[in-house]
Amino acid sequence: MNAWFERFKFDGRRLILRNFSFQFFSIVMPAGFYLLFTKVMVTGNVPDSFNVKYMGSMIVYSGTINALFGIAAFLQRDREAGVLQWCWLSPAGIRPYYLSIGCWSLLMNMLSVVVLGGIAIGVNGVSLSVAQWGAIAGIAILGQLSTMLLGVLMSFVERTETLSVLSNLITFPMAIISGLWWPIALLPNWLQPIGKLMPTYFINDWLGRVATHGTMVPADILGTGAWMISLLLVVIVSVRLLLKRSDGVVWA
């Protein structure tokens, strides 16, 4: 327990407290976008439903940035610095390491719920029940698991430059076509079905329904579950393949 707690403290310091860019891109930027698109770049009265839905979108966007930029780069940097190898050589192995990073990623996601929820309540006058807020937090965590697994998978890319390109190529198109930045109905007809298959779409839709109507549809739950299980399997297979490679790429 002491080993785990030290690990958790250690990762919290370097991943969150002393990592301003991670805080900025995961929390400040989505919060800024939320204010921009609900207060600054609007005319007249914005419907409450838009304020609520857009809050959900920015929560998902925050989690996506957190996982696909922050966590993926962090894990890759650790691998290059020999941290992963060092953890593996310790008696506890690498599981506590991944668990600790995962917990911090989820906590950051919860922080984004608090910050964006705070802005929604304080600035935009959004009013939701306690049950709705609880559901939003739970769904955000579930959604974060999928994107986090995708981030872990991306961290196996060998070169930093490749990861950077990959993060941009995946995150922004995925955010756009799954309707995080603007409603999916505004996209071309041929693109909408593709957007509706993205993991971020399922979570965003699920959050939006819970926040606006207090309802949910099975498609969102199934879609999220399917992405989570598929990515988990791919991560497990990838780790095993990398560990089997005798050139030690996984250890860098």
How far is residue 95's CA from residue 209's CA, in Å, rounded to a whole number? 35
Q: For residues 207-246, which are near another protein according to CB under 8 A?
A: 246
Q: Which stretch binds another protein (CB under 8 A): 13-21, 62-70, 180-188, 191-199?
A: 13-21
Tell me: does residue 24 bind another protein (CB under 8 A): no
How far is residue 246's CA from residue 248's CA, in Å, rounded to a whole number? 5
- Amino acid present at 132: Q
Q: Among residues 36, 42, 81, 222, which is the contact residue for another protein, using CB under 8 A?
A: 81
Tell me: does residue 7 bind another protein (CB under 8 A): yes
How far is residue 160's CA from residue 181's CA, in Å, rounded to a whole number? 27
Tell me: does residue 182 bind another protein (CB under 8 A): no
* Cα→Cα distances 109→7, 36, 92, 195, Å: 20, 20, 27, 22
∠ CA 34-66-241, rounded to 5°? 150
Residue 24 or 86 having the CB closest to another protein: 86
Q: How far is the CB of 137 from another protein (least distance, A)?
A: 28
Residue 78 or 220 having the CB closest to another protein: 78
Q: Among residues 47, 93, 118, 183, which is the contact residue for another protein, using CB under 8 A?
A: 93
Instruction: Give the pair of three-digit tokens for residue 113.
Output: 């719920």
Instruction: Give the pair of three-digit tokens for residue 36.
Output: 């921009």
Nearest Cα to 84, choosing from 144, 149, 11? 11
How far is residue 102's CA from residue 13's CA, in Å, rounded to a whole number? 14
Tell me: does residue 85 bind another protein (CB under 8 A): yes
Tell me: does residue 13 bind another protein (CB under 8 A): yes
Tell me: does residue 248 bind another protein (CB under 8 A): yes
* Positions in the binding site for another protein (CB under 8 A): 2-3, 5-7, 10, 13-15, 17-19, 77-78, 81-83, 85-86, 88-93, 246-248, 251
